[in-house]
Chains A and B, each alone.
Chain A
Amino acid sequence: HSALTQPASVSGSPGQSITISCSGTSTDIGAYNYVSWYQQHPGKVPKLMVYHVSNRPSGISNRFSGSKSGNTASLTISGLQADDEADYYCSSHTGGGAYVFGTGTEVTVL
């Protein structure tokens, strides 16, 4: 499986909402409701923000929301804050117990 396709960068002003897309195929995103989103600040380990398409782990702000339509998943960050500036990666189950990450998106808070 090739990496899922994400925009290289997305930016927004504080308080605004942004959406990061994650494009896959009918054999990964389109086939399973097992899409996760990870946030990674520079030099840090990834942090789970959304799992199973739209579920938030305990402690994750409701400003982060996930969705899926067909072969594309999305992560929306509302009320953008300075600390949201980071890299974001989607991932999806691809069948047979395997997974694939997206290409990653750098979020900039203007």
Chain B
Amino acid sequence: QVQLVQSGAEVREPGASVKVSCKASEDTFDSHFMHWVREAPGQGLEWMGVVNPSGGTAGYAQKFRGRVTMTRDTSTRTLYLEVSSLRSEDTAVYYCARDSSSGWFSVDVWGKGTTVIVSS
């Protein structure tokens, strides 16, 4: 089963940007939708967006449009999530997640999560 290995925890000041990575153990980005989900402390899960296997185009939740960028590098099997203009409410664990072959957000593989802390 493919594994998704995420980058380590990050601490940023408000207004800064952060880029989180998610490396797959085998080729998967060309055949599976890849999602980003976050979980703020004491809060629930929040869907942020998805990267299409065809061409790597991304779609974002309306809340994050203009502030979040999802990209991929198929040569290194790495997915990226960049969040700009960080605020304290962005403090959360960020997960990358692979949609199964059944699609439509039937996620079968999750990364272990990357903690991002936004604090001055």
Interface residues of A (CB under 8 A from B): 1, 3, 32, 34, 36, 38, 40, 45-46, 48, 51-52, 55, 57, 87, 89, 91, 93, 96-104
Contact = CB atoms under 8 A, between A and B. Distances in A.
Contacts of B44: 3, 87, 89, 101-104
B100 interface: yes
Contacts of A51: 100, 102, 104-106
A40 B45 CA distance: 10
9 contacts: A36-B104, A45-B110, A52-B102, A57-B100, A89-B44, A93-B105, A98-B59, A99-B105, A100-B61
Interface of B: 35, 37, 44-47, 50, 52, 59, 61-62, 95, 100, 102, 104-108, 110-113
Nearest to B110: A45
B47 A48 contact: no
Contacts of B110: 45-46
Contacts of A101: 37, 44-47
B106 A57 contact: yes
Contact of A99 (B47, B95, B108, B113): B47
Contact of B50 (A40, A55, A97, A103): A97
Nearest to B35: A99
A-B residue pairs, 9 tightest by C-beta? A51-B106, A104-B44, A45-B110, A34-B104, A97-B59, A99-B47, A101-B45, A99-B105, A89-B45
A97 B50 CA distance: 8
A100 to B, nearest CB: 6
B100 A46 contact: no
B28 to A, nearest CB: 16
Contact of A46 (B50, B61, B107): B107
